[in-house]
Structure 1
């Protein structure tokens, strides 16, 4: 588990295709690895990766086909900067929100403009994730815990202060940049709880008809 508070920026040092999936080396820059052991987790642009080797200046991780399919990892290139966060401990300040490192989908930056000392970003999420994104709710973008300012359909707006621009990779974002998105884990569990017994049915999902039938909305 993570908090979404980025600890350092690293970079992709090597990419090695391995029998249909991928092994990669991440150089960690200012992120101390003194307390990291083999098997530990490090969120890399929001993707929970398991450390399989520690060469000294970074870590190697294996990336499965599942992760390549549902995140931006398959588009990464050598030298690309990435956000880094080590797994939280019982004494970690929860400055962001609870982040699992399990990416829900890939979004896209639609617009960016300056607003005083901040930068405003509009992002588009996959349609299937729109229901989980709420005004003033939390969302993780490339591993960064952020607050949603506005929501319009599948698009949402973020206000990014100078500190976040400096210490994450967000200052590199331009319209068209693709990003890893993780919605608030509480929203995912709430959906399953609302389904009740129907959660055990194959193909069951939360629909407008279901909500109306159970008194949550009006047809």
Structure 2
């Protein structure tokens, strides 16, 4: 698990084809890896990856075709910046919200508008994800925990303060760019509970209609 609080910006060193998928090599810049071991999880622009090799200022992770096709990692190239966050420890502060690192889909930047010293960003997501996004709820974009301002169909808006823009890959983003989207896991569980309750009511009605209850 992660918090969506980006700890450092790194850069992709190279994407090495391996047997049909890819080994991703990342320069972690200022991220301290002294407490990271092989097999630990690191979020790369919101995608939970397992570090298979470690260096002083970098690591490598294997990325499956499934991950490449469902996230923006498959479109990255050497030199591209990425947001980095080490896995959450139980004693850590939860400054953002609970993030799994399992990207739900790819959205895109619609517009960026100045708002005093901040910026108002509008994003568009696939229709099947829009129902999980609520005003004043949480959303994770490229591994960054953000608060939703408003929702309009399959578009939603957020405010980014200067610190967030300067210390994440948002400073490189422009209208039309693709971004990784992870919806709030709480919304997923709520849907599951509601769906389960509806299914139970249908089963109970069926049994009563046929004299089994």
**TM superposition score normalised by structure 2:** 0.92
Who is 2:116 aligned against?
A: 116
- 1:60 matched residue in structure 2: 60
Q: Distance in 1 between matches of 2:164 and 2:158?
A: 12
Q: Give per-residue Cα distances to partners, 1:32-70, cap 9 Å, x unaligned.
A: 000000000000000000000012220000001111111
**Helix, strand or coil: the match of 2:35?**
coil
- TM-score w.r.t. the length of structure 1 is 0.89
Count of residues in correspondence between the two structures = 200
Secondary structure (helix, strand or coil) at the match of 1:149 reads strand
Provide structure 1 residue ranges, at least 5 long, that are not aligned to the other structure.
201-219
CA deviation string 1:85-139 (max 9, x = no partner):
0001011100000000000000000001111100111000111100000001000
CA distance in 1, matches of 2:10, 2:137: 28
Which residue of structure 2 lines up, in the alignment, with residue 77 of structure 1?
77
1:156-201, CA deviations, whole angstroms, 9 ceiling, x for partnerless residues? 001000110111111111001100000000000111110116669x
Once the two structures are superposed, residues 4-46 of structure 1 have per-residue CA deviations (whole angstroms, 9 ceiling, x without a partner) of 0000000000111112211010000010000000000000000
What CA distance in whole angstroms lies between the structure 2 residues aligned with 1:50 and 1:43? 9
Counterparts of 1:1-219 in structure 2, within 5 Å, are: 1-196=1-196
RMSD: 1.2
**Relative to structure 1, is the Cα distance of residues 190 and 121 closer, same or farther in structure 2, using a 3 angstrom cutoff?**
same
Question: Which stretches in structure 2 are left out of the alignment for 5+ residues?
Answer: 201-213
Query: Do 2:30 and 2:57's aligned partners in 1 also have CA atoms closer than 8 Å?
Result: no
- Superposed CA deviations along residues 62-81 of structure 1, whole A, max 9, x for unmatched, are 00111111101100100000
- Aligned equivalents of 1:151, 1:125: Cα separation in 2: 11
Q: Which has the larger radius of gyration?
A: 2
CA distance, structure 1, for counterparts of residue 89 and residue 55 of structure 2 = 24
Q: Distance in 2 between matches of 1:100 and 1:168?
A: 19
